[in-house]
Amino acid sequence: MLDWLYEIVSQLIVWIHGALSLVVPEDSGWAWGGSIILLTVLLRLALVPLFVKQIHASRKMQELNPKVQALRKKYKNDKQRMNQEVMKLYQDNGANPLSGCLPLLVQMPVFIGLFQTLKRISDAKPGHSVFAMTPDLVKSAQNANIVGAHIPNTFLGAWGADPKVWSAIIVTGVAVIISSCTTFFSVRASMKRQPASTGDANPMAQAQKLMVFVAPLFGLFGLNFPLGVLMYWVTSNSWTLVQQHYIFSKYPPPGSEAEKAKAEKDAKPSGGIKAKLKKEPEPPAEPEAKPKVVRNQPTRKPRSKRSGTPKR
């Protein structure tokens, strides 16, 4: 049913591999591993507009949160009416609680398509093609070597092999650990940048809280993921961490700890020679007013009109 999706993903890999083969050997792990990494980077570049839309949706939800809390308090005994009023508030203000999930929803088909393509490559018999990949390309991908491991290798498969290939076990094991850690830190970083006031009003925040606890369990699923899928996951998570750090450090969400820290940083005067040069000159001090000298004039005593002697 999803063969059309697998055809698209495999065709993208073939095109990128063909371009990289002009620089590195076409049968090397650099060509096939680089194809997966570049596919991930191109996908994330295409998702930048959706990420920006996600940021705007999140901030819109933060702005509406006080009104949502007021509606919940007003209709706390009537959940149906409360939900109707909250949805009406969202519609009137052009907010969509699910728009924050768009980047994840777009990534999932590519993840599934890449997983199925690499799984078919690992299971393909000699002389068989896989979707848009010819038998020669399938054989090349199967034999591509990345530090002693092959792209279709899984940790459980390498562990259960007889004899065991320890290089494949180590490489896939390290990839599982890194993918689990990057998943956890990317979700945790997103949660830390959410204002505490959003609470349960933001469904995306609820999903992120759940993901913080689910992320460590990703390692259990990753044990059976092909190395190529783990490379995709690590690259995507690393991109997310860098992108989040840049966007939120430049434009911190209103009311968040990052915004408060940025405001405090901007408020502090910066030192150095440049700051001294740019410092505005202080206004000249006003001259102190001199105290007035009061002279005591001699008082004239009244005289008698006849004798001219002063009166007693």
| Band of pLDDT at residue 272, cut at 50, 70 and 90 | very low
Question: Which pLDDT score, from 0 to 100, does residue 63 have?
Answer: 80
Q: CA 299, CA 242: separation in Å to the nearest integer?
A: 91
pLDDT digits (tens, 9 = 90+) for 80-130: 888 888 888 888 887 777 766 777 777 888 888 888 888 888 888 888 898
Q: Checking phi first, is residue 127 left (phi over 0); if not, alpha (psi -120 to 50) or beta? A: left
Residue 238, pLDDT > 50, answer: yes
Question: Which pLDDT score, from 0 to 100, does residue 182 have?
Answer: 86
Does the CA dihedral 154-156-160-163 come out positive or negative?
positive
CA torsion angle 134 136 142 148 (round to 10): -140
Question: What is the identity of the amino acid at 290?
Answer: K
Cβ atoms of 118 and 4 within 8 Å: the answer is no
56-60, 68-72, 286-290: the lowest-pLDDT one? 286-290
- Give the list of residues 6+ apart from residue 194 with CB closer than 8 angstroms, or none: 58, 202, 205, 208, 253, 256
**Share of residues in the chain with pLDDT > 90 (%):** 20
List residues bridging with 310 in a β-sheet: 303
- For residue 112, the number of C-alpha atoms closer than 13 Å in the C-beta half-sphere is 11
Higher pLDDT, 271 or 162: 162
Phi and psi at 257, nearest 5°, equal -65, -35
Question: Which pLDDT score, from 0 to 100, does residue 168 have?
Answer: 92
**Residues 54-73: what's their mean pLDDT?**
81
| Band of pLDDT at residue 159, cut at 50, 70 and 90 | very high
Residue 4, pLDDT > 80, answer: yes
Cβ atoms of 228 and 120 within 8 Å: the answer is no
Question: Which pLDDT score, from 0 to 100, does residue 19 have?
Answer: 95
Cβ atoms of 17 and 137 within 8 Å: the answer is yes
Mean pLDDT in the chain?
Answer: 78
pLDDT digits (tens, 9 = 90+) for 163-190: 888 999 999 999 999 988 888 887 777 6
Residue 61, pLDDT > 50, answer: yes
Longest CA–CA separation in the chain, Å:
153
Question: Which pLDDT score, from 0 to 100, does residue 307 have?
Answer: 55
List, as one string, the DSSP characters of 155-170.
HHHHHHSSS--HHHHH
